[in-house]
Amino acid sequence: MSNIDSIIHTEALTKIFSRKKIAVNDLYLDVPKNSIYGFMGPNGAGKTTTIKMILGLIQPSAGTIQVLGEKMRKDSAKLRRQIGYLPTNPKFPEKMTPITYLDFVGKIFGIPKQIRIPRITELIRSTGLLPLSSSEIKKFSTGEITRVGIAATLINDPKLLILDEPTLGLDPIGRTSTVNLIIELGNNRGKNVFLSSHILGDIDRICTHVGIINDGKLIFTGTIAEVKKLIHTNTVELQIDGEPDSIIQKLKLIPNVINVDFDRYIIRVGIDSKENYANALPQIFGVFKNDPVELISFKSGSENLESAFLKLLEDEKSNGFLRAITKNL
């Protein structure tokens, strides 16, 4: 059954290699339209195998896949032409330049010259490759190669971008640049983006929705806010500049504050209940008024995607153990 509200829809998707290894296990996935969807999990969780099945590059052992409202099959070449795909650590002809490579890809898609050349010019500019447009790709850094790859995925103006670990191996500058480019494509260029990564900070910065896979099984799907709610701990983290003693004493006097800890310029404040959390916040901020200690940053206890991710994996591990021992009883 087609799901018109999903850009990607799978039912009972399963892949077993050599009749032994279950790479993807009964996967039900719905990627909302107009979203940047983060597909995350540990290395070996089944992310790349799922992507290759979504693209029709490998056939599932069971289940169905719909992309852009159509069933994906091995022979779905027309459907695949509406998708831009960037694999992990892409390789390109070293002696080509970004211009010659994008022109080559555009010709493969059959894009007429009068459309192809202006599109290449726009892609070179928008991906920040203009200073490198005449340089051979073999001279490029990992981040610059990733930008060539993203430009190539856009040459056919696809409705859907599938990016497999696009920030893997990048230095901080390259990662920030790539993250900003993906956000721009999703938020301001109207592209549907399906992004696979195990780098939690990137998922947190880029994505509107997230699916978490572990050992081939989807253990969570929802918005970024929903996954963070799973680990709401009624705590506040305050990064400060200055001696903490006076601030700590003031914080301890606030009603509903149950504990105050300090470590490496971070004060952690525990509040007794979710109901009192909102009421305590103005009082917590108020302790800095007329105090020489400066508040540098603030973070709530539900903002840490890494904590939510680890909690879900731990819960899944425990549930899997319980299912196993129950089955053997």
- In DSSP notation, 227-268 reads HHHTT--SEEEEEEES--HHHHHHHHTSTTEEEEEEETTEEE
Of residues 309 and 80, more confidence is placed in: 80
Token readout for 240 is 């400060």
pLDDT classification of 275: cutoffs 50, 70, 90:
confident
pLDDT of residue 328: 40
CATH hierarchy code of domain 235-300: 3.30.70.100
pLDDT category at 51 given cuts 50, 70, 90 is very high
6-222 fold? Rossmann fold (3.40.50)
Residue 305 binned pLDDT confidence (cut-offs 50, 70, 90): low
pLDDT in tens, 52-64: 999 999 999 999 9
Pick from 291, 250, 289, 292: nearest CA to 267: 250
Q: Is the pLDDT of residue 239 over 70?
A: yes
Query: How many other β-carbons are positioned within 10 Å of the β-carbon of residue 266?
Result: 15
The percentage of the chain sitting over the pLDDT mark of 90, rounded to a whole number, equals 53
User: Three-class SS string for 130-171?
Assistant: HHHCCCCHHHCCHHHHHHHHHHHHCCCCCCEEEEECCCCCCC
- Nearest Cα neighbor of 209 from 25, 23, 36, 24 is 36
Alpha-carbon distance of 240 to 248, in angstroms, equals: 11
The model's pLDDT over 12-23, given as tens digits with 9 standing for 90+, comes to 999 999 888 899
As separate numbers, helices (DSSP H) first and strands (DSSP E) second, the chain gives: 11, 14
The whole-angstrom separation of Cα 98 and Cα 291 is: 55
Confidence check: pLDDT of 204 > 70: yes
Percentage of the chain modeled with pLDDT above 70: 89
Q: What is the reported pLDDT for 325?
A: 36
Pair of tokens at residue 294: 């400066």
Examine the pLDDT at 3 and tell me if it is beyond 80.
no
Residues of each domain in the chain carrying CATH 3.40.50.300: 6-222
Cβ-based neighbours of 12, under 8 Å, separated by 6 or more = 26, 27, 28, 62, 63, 64
Distance in angstroms (rounded) separating the CA atoms of residues 53 and 40: 16
Question: What are the start and end residues of each CATH 3.30.70.100 domain in the chain?
Answer: 235-300
This prediction has a pTM of 0.77
Q: Which residue has the higher pLDDT, 214 or 3?
A: 214
The answer to whether 144 and 129 are in contact (CB under 8 A) is yes
Enclosing H/E stretch for 94:
none
Q: Determine how many CB atoms are found less than 10 A away from the CB of residue 45.
A: 24
According to the model, what pLDDT value does residue 320 have?
52
Helix, strand or coil, per DSSP, at residue 126: helix
Half-sphere exposure of 299 (CA within 13 A, CB side): 14
